[in-house]
Structure 1
Amino acid sequence: MPDISSNAMDDNPTLAHVEFYVRDAAVTAAELRRKYGFGIVATAGTAGSGTDRYSLALRQGNITLIATQGEVAEAYVERHGDGVADIAFRVGDVRSAFTAAVRAGARAVRRPGDSGRGDAATAVFGDVTHTLLSRDKSLPPDFSAVRPEYEVRGAGLQELDHFAVCAEAGELGGLVDFWQRAFGFRSVFREYISVGDQGMNSEVVQSAGGDTTFTIIEPDPQARSGQIDAFLTAHRGVGIQHVALNTRNIVATLDRLSGEGVQTLDVPDSYYDSLPDRVTVSEYPAHSLRKFGILADEDHNGRLFQVFTRSVHPRRTFFFEVLQRCGAETFGSNNIKALYSAVESERLLSAAETWQ
């Protein structure tokens, strides 16, 4: 475990909610309800034109997401489009947690007591903030609970597994250091991922309680530009590329999601043809993985099953990952390489057939 500065708070932060800044909160909430099975549990503000803030909070399992529109979201949406703008933590003492974050390099956004709500907020990277709530809160105090408008069927989504952060080259170390010093996170995994002539550095930091994980990726400036560079250009800076949601049965979950119109990335047949050479899968039949485009990987602790939704963001800068951990603790880097090789093999085969 890395050395933690004395700036770190003396109690462990736990994940409270994730807030998206969007152009239309009602449309975003409707999408999360219909396609992903979330239910609206609380609201804040009003939907009237020109209001400072209108928010809808949605929940499924232990996952709480907020969609917010209004003046508070306008600058973010104008620069980045809809996306993750705030990751909120519950802490034992808001004031001491705020002080620790600022000492570690965060910019003060809302100081304790400024709003009269008892919370605080700091800017962390890019335009993403951390709201700090007292331990007994999962939402800011101005939210009012609502009765569900319909029976929430859900899709089997249980927890938020991790956030994927795309950083500029050279920024990874500073972000790791910040979360360690400010919130007592620990570095749990690091690697260099090489895919063809593309390359990226990756490091994973995790809260002491294990409920909040950031996978930080920065491009290798010596390698050819790839998807991380494309994200940084389209997003106009560092940000959250995707949010990974955990399920106990990924096949059942994908059956539900696909039935509601959620599309996932195409996976070539050659990926599944070679899968038995890489992973011994006992949890699901091969045809189920192939049907839903589910990728499989394994480490020394077990297997990981994952799928990436097709981005519907106008800039293609945000998507969801759905995953199931069967003991595995890593994040599927072997799948990146295997999928790249499979796609390249099919491309070469297609080119050869064209010239025959």
Structure 2
Amino acid sequence: MDIRGIDHIELYVGDARQAAFYFSTAVGFEICGQGGPETGLVGQRSLLLRHGDIRLLLTSGLDAEHPAARYVQRHGDGIAVVAVEVDDVPAAYAELVVRGATGVTPPTTGADAEVVIAEVDGFADVRHRLVQRRGDRGEFLPGIIAASASTTDDQPPVLAEIDHLAVCVPPDQLDETVRHFEALFDFAQIFEEHVEVDGQGMNSKVVQSPSGRVTVVLLEPDRTRRPGQIDAFLDQHAGGGVQHLGLRTDDIVAAVEALRRRGVRFAGTPASYYDALQERVGRVDAPLDRLRELGVLVDSDHDGQLLQIFAESMHVRRTLFLELIERRGARGFGSGNIKALYEAKERELAAVAAAPQGVGA
């Protein structure tokens, strides 16, 4: 199946305006569209945000029976729809149904005939949306009115595009989820590993679209080891789902500096991590003292290096969070940094647990 890339990500949230305030104020997104009852969207309010080539749609249910309201009640704020761009939505939808997908929304054309969408069930409570665009103006989605962005910040975007999604699945569902992507979308598995850190363990497999433009990292806890972060996510999220969204940047130092100024908090990294960094990954073409100060991690593979950092979750359940990643040739996802990520996240969770009631939520 010809999937050209990720068109947008839709989050179901308790309060779309409040969530938009965080993404615009702290991360630098700009609100560029909206929809609600006045545009034909019954029972919901949606806001469209954009930063570089990254588009996020934030949707809140206005009544208790709306899918967004039911999702938030069960999972909290989170990613509910992964929308991919295809050339022919009706043909792609028909093919997916033949392959075994459960149709949710049949092909639907927007009022101005500039966009066609359809939806099928995905993994966990996440749906797949197919999007076909015939122009770059008018409706973003049926009922979502896109407006010309009015630049309010003289600084250019510091984030470029969505690099990958990381998905946590319950024990014994990893292979089944891989087959889901392979059978429906012709994804290929490009990587797998088993990681053990401080008595915790997880299995990971990575699947990617034929175009290479859509990548999903799948994570499953090893229940023969003590509970860890994947278990915590599954418990707090009430099941599988998207744990983090990887956003690619061309200059991670500049991106981290910009987001920190805006108020984004990033997971800390042990100072000792940098003592043997160049021995582990080779010469790094970046000032180590600056990387140490910012907490940026570095890893390498046969194709080059990557720099990455993880933001602290902004959600009350401490589930979904953002990753910033700069690729300098590397195609991996920081396997060598798994231990550092575990340590950083463990400190965050420990700090939350130790905080007085009502603090750190």
The answer on whether the counterparts of 2:301 and 2:332 sit within 8 Å (CA) in structure 1 is yes
Return the offset for 1:100. 3.0
Secondary structure of the equivalent of 2:276?
helix
Closer, same or farther in 2 for the Cα pair 1:293/1:155, shift >3 Å?
Answer: farther
Amino acid of the structure 2 residue aligned with 1:40: I
Structure 2 residue aligned with 1:63: 54
Matched, 1:27 2:33: no
Structure 1 residue aligned with 2:120: 122
Secondary structure of the equivalent of 1:125?
coil
Closer, same or farther in 2 for the Cα pair 1:212/1:340, shift >3 Å?
Answer: closer
Closer, same or farther in 2 for the Cα pair 1:238/1:343, shift >3 Å?
Answer: closer
The answer on whether the counterparts of 2:48 and 2:57 sit within 8 Å (CA) in structure 1 is yes
CA distance in 1, matches of 2:291, 2:98: 47
Structure 2 residue aligned with 1:112: 107
The answer on whether the counterparts of 1:231 and 1:241 sit within 8 Å (CA) in structure 2 is yes
Closer, same or farther in 2 for the Cα pair 1:207/1:135, shift >3 Å?
Answer: farther
Return the offset for 1:47. 8.5
199-208 or 140-149: bigger deviation: 140-149
RMSD (Å), alpha carbons: 2.4
Closer, same or farther in 2 for the Cα pair 1:252/1:82, shift >3 Å?
Answer: same
The answer on whether the counterparts of 1:161 and 1:244 sit within 8 Å (CA) in structure 2 is yes
Secondary structure of the equivalent of 2:227?
coil
Instruction: Count residues in correspondence.
Output: 334
Scaled by the length of structure 2, the TM-score of the pair is 0.86
286-295 or 181-190: bigger deviation: 181-190
Return the offset for 1:340. 5.3
User: Once the two structures are superposed, what CA deviation does each residue of 1:294-323 show, in whole Å capped at 9, x if it has no partner?
Assistant: 011101111110000011211100100001
Scaled by the length of structure 1, the TM-score of the pair is 0.87
Closer, same or farther in 2 for the Cα pair 1:45/1:342, shift >3 Å?
Answer: closer
CA distance in 1, matches of 2:183, 2:93: 12
Matched, 1:183 2:185: yes
Secondary structure of the equivalent of 2:122?
strand
Selected match of 1:272 from 274, 285, 302: 274
Closer, same or farther in 2 for the Cα pair 1:155/1:287, shift >3 Å?
Answer: farther
Secondary structure of the equivalent of 2:203?
strand
Structure 2 residue aligned with 1:207: 209
Return the offset for 1:276. 2.5
The answer on whether the counterparts of 2:11 and 2:56 sit within 8 Å (CA) in structure 1 is yes
CA distance in 1, matches of 2:123, 2:329: 31
Structure 2 residue aligned with 1:230: 232
Amino acid of the structure 2 residue aligned with 1:32: F
CA distance in 2, matches of 1:93, 1:290: 47
Secondary structure of the equivalent of 2:165?
strand
Structure 1 residue aligned with 2:149: 148
The answer on whether the counterparts of 1:36 and 1:154 sit within 8 Å (CA) in structure 2 is no
Return the offset for 1:103. 3.8
The answer on whether the counterparts of 1:183 and 1:207 sit within 8 Å (CA) in structure 2 is yes
Selected match of 1:80 from 62, 75, 81: 75
Point out where structure 1 has 5 or more consecutive residues left out of the alignment.
1-8, 345-356
Return the offset for 1:135. 4.3
Secondary structure of the equivalent of 2:141?
coil
Selected match of 1:307 from 295, 306, 309: 309
Return the offset for 1:19. 0.4
CA distance in 2, matches of 1:61, 1:241: 22
Secondary structure of the equivalent of 1:157?
coil
39-48 or 326-335: bigger deviation: 39-48
CA distance in 1, matches of 2:345, 2:144: 47
The answer on whether the counterparts of 1:36 and 1:155 sit within 8 Å (CA) in structure 2 is no
Secondary structure of the equivalent of 1:119?
strand
